[in-house]
Amino acid sequence: MTTPGSTHSAADVLGEAWQAALGTPPAGPDADFFASGGDSLLAIRMLSRLRQARVASTTADILRGRTFGGILSRLEARGTPVAAAPVGEAGAGAVPLLPTQRRWIANRFAEPDHFSLGWIFDVPERTPDGRPVDTVAVEAAVLALVRGHEALRTRYLLDGDGAPRAEVLPGVPDGVFAVADVPGDEVPGVLRAGWRGHRLAEGRVLAARWLPAQRLLQLALHHLTLDGFSVELLADDLEALLTGAEPVAEPGTPRGQAQAVSTWLASAEAEQDAKAWAGQDWQEVARVPTELAGPGLLPSMDVASAELDARETAVAQRLATEAGLTFESLVLAAAATAIMRCFELPAVSVDTYHHGRDRLPGGPDITSGIGYFQANYPVVVTGGPGDWLERAAAGFDRVPKNRFGFDALRFAGHPALTDLPGSGIRLNFRSRMSEINARTSDWLPPSKTSAGGRRSPRQAEPYLLMLEADQVGERFAFAIKYSRDHFTGRTVEHLVRSTLALLARTAVAHGGVDA
């Protein structure tokens, strides 16, 4: 990772950010970001890398520049560096909850303190310039990370009188950093305990454990305070702090975004979007019927998965482009169609994720901010005679462009959206994030050492079928997580195979090359 203070040219920095997002360097100045596999989430990833290297950039630079040369010209014309983080901390006090945080709280998870995202890193003995990295340096970097981001020192009061609320603390909470000098056979137990180190009411939403003998650093991050994309960004920030780089100013905070959302909710656009969300074909939406009756707790979870090969993946991606859909939308529609056919349902709704980092009028730039900005929104897919792809394209045309707006409106209590039916299906389209999280070209890599227990075994998932999609190299990977208390493995494996077969057959039928 190019860090602040290095002497790389703008072209070098952009090339590195391009590769960090897309997995390969640009083929030349005419290489098109989106034609090379880029999408909105990967654009955010590229912008965050540019910001880490103190190159000022916006989504407009990618959308209007498009090619490597076009984006570079816009960056060079601007020439304004990103500011360093100011000394001191932002003001403490009560802050509004973001819409997706309200969704998380509404799920009423058992043992809410025990819900971790995070990292286990292998920390090199020396920085790239040769300085030793000892316990003092690791602790200083972790504490600086917490001081630099409001989301990492926010406490959440979920019980007691009144509605749930959040409060930014003036300093680093107690118990954030602990040293565990243990022999190798005790490492798994230490790491499992680390995932249980959160205390929401005390603001300990980051719990770090440093194992000096193994040079492992565990960073347990509570999901209520940040989303998965923020977890990846924090790895960049931590690497910068450990290698001696000056922190980059936090571009936007959760409180700033919450205020912008509140302003948007009072707008005419928000009311129009509410009507559009309510106007989808909800009357036909049915819940997926389960085959078995059981509590569906986390220990009962299983997964079925399969892949398209490189040629099939390329053909399916071309199909999405020709149909006027994103690849994510195509996958969602194919999976929904396979589910409807399997269970003989007239229509289903699929909750899917949006990065939630589009800038609102008057709101902060949260492109590389740390918080729970991710938004959920539903897509209704209908069955019936005719071409499933044409129906899907028409359905997506009815989805409002403000993807964040559904959760914002629903959890603000909009009457048209509070009691809509749901099918119990969720899609997480990761868009190469597994490759990105491997951090293969970074100084601070994730460890091969792993430990389970990130969530309480008393919890249950709020969805019946959890669709997971990612691109690994040139292959498209698709999986469905489910509870053995609800479905047989045979049924879910059939759903996975049917989804991929539908993608492949339709691509060939629309003029793709038969693999």
The distance of Cα 55 from the centroid of its chain, to the nearest Å, equals 23
Q: Is the confidence at residue 201, as pLDDT, over 50?
A: yes
CB 147 within 8 A of CB 89: yes
Q: What is the pLDDT of residue 279?
A: 94
Least confident of 31-40, 155-164, 203-212, 335-344: 31-40
126 touches 132 (CB < 8 A): yes
pLDDT band at 86; cut points 50, 70, 90: very low
Identify any residues that bridge with 93 across adjacent strands, giving them in sequence order: 168
- The predicted structure's pLDDT at residue 248: 67
Q: What is the pLDDT of residue 414?
A: 92
φ, ψ for residue 77, nearest 5 deg = -70, -35
pLDDT band at 458 (very low <50, low <70, confident <90, very high): very high
pLDDT at residue number 176: 98
What's the topology of domain 93-249? Chloramphenicol Acetyltransferase (3.30.559)
- Domain 10-78, CATH: 1.10.1200.10
Decide which of 270 and 473 is more confident: 270
What per-residue confidence (pLDDT) applies to 132? 97
Contact 165, 97 (CB under 8 A): yes
Per-residue confidence (pLDDT) for residue 88, from 0 to 100: 36
Closest of 5, 1, 4, 13 to residue 61, by C-alpha: 13
In the chain, what are the domain boundaries? 10-78, 93-249, 282-353+379-436+462-509
Strands of 116-122's sheet, edge to edge? 116-122, 216-222, 206-211, 177-179
H-helix or E-strand containing 118?
Answer: strand 116-122
pLDDT at 148: 92
The answer to whether 221 and 142 are in contact (CB under 8 A) is: no
Give the model's pLDDT for residue 162.
Answer: 84
Check whether 51 has a pLDDT greater than 80: no
Q: Nearest 5°: phi and psi at 295?
A: -70, -25
Question: pLDDT higher for 322 or 351?
Answer: 351
Higher pLDDT, 384 or 58: 384
Query: Rounded to the nearest 5°, which phi and psi values hold at 344?
Result: 55, 55
pLDDT class of 511 with cuts at 50, 70, 90? low
For residue 3, what pLDDT is reported? 45
User: For 459-469, what is the mean pLDDT?
Assistant: 98
pTM: 0.89
pLDDT at 23: 79
Name the DSSP class of 186. Answer: G
**Average pLDDT of the segment spanning 14-33:** 86
pLDDT at 5 over 70: no
* Spatial distance between the Cα atoms of 222 and 118, rounded to a whole number of angstroms: 8
Q: What is the pLDDT of residue 85?
A: 45
pLDDT tens string 322-334: 888 999 999 999 9
As a whole number, the mean pLDDT across the chain is: 91
Asked whether the domain spanning 282-353+379-436+462-509 has the same topology as the one spanning 93-249, the reply is yes
Is residue 10 scored above 90 in pLDDT?
Answer: no
Choose the most confident range, by mean pLDDT, from 2-6, 73-77, 372-376: 372-376
Chain segment 276-316, per-residue pLDDT in tens: 999 999 999 999 999 999 999 999 999 999 999 999 999 99
Distances (CA, A) of 179 to 55, 136, 187, 209, 443: 36, 11, 12, 6, 22
Residues 6+ apart with CB under 8 A from 92: 167, 168, 169, 170
Topology, domain 282-353+379-436+462-509: Chloramphenicol Acetyltransferase (3.30.559)
pLDDT at position 87: 36
What proportion of the chain, given as a percentage, has pLDDT over 70?
94
Q: How confident is the model at residue 21 (pLDDT cuts 50, 70, 90)?
A: confident
Query: Do residues 406 and 186 lie in contact, with contact meaning Cβ atoms separated by under 8 Å?
Result: no
**Residue type at 186?**
E
Looking at the predicted structure, is the pLDDT value of residue 465 above 60?
A: yes
Across 160-166, average pLDDT: 89
Q: What pLDDT is stored for residue 170 in this prediction?
A: 95
Euclidean distance between CA atoms 173 and 150, whole angstroms: 12
Name the most confidently modeled range: 193-197, 416-420, 510-514: 193-197
Q: Residue 40 to residues 354, 395, 491: CA-CA distances in angstroms?
A: 9, 20, 33
Residue 247: per-residue pLDDT: 64
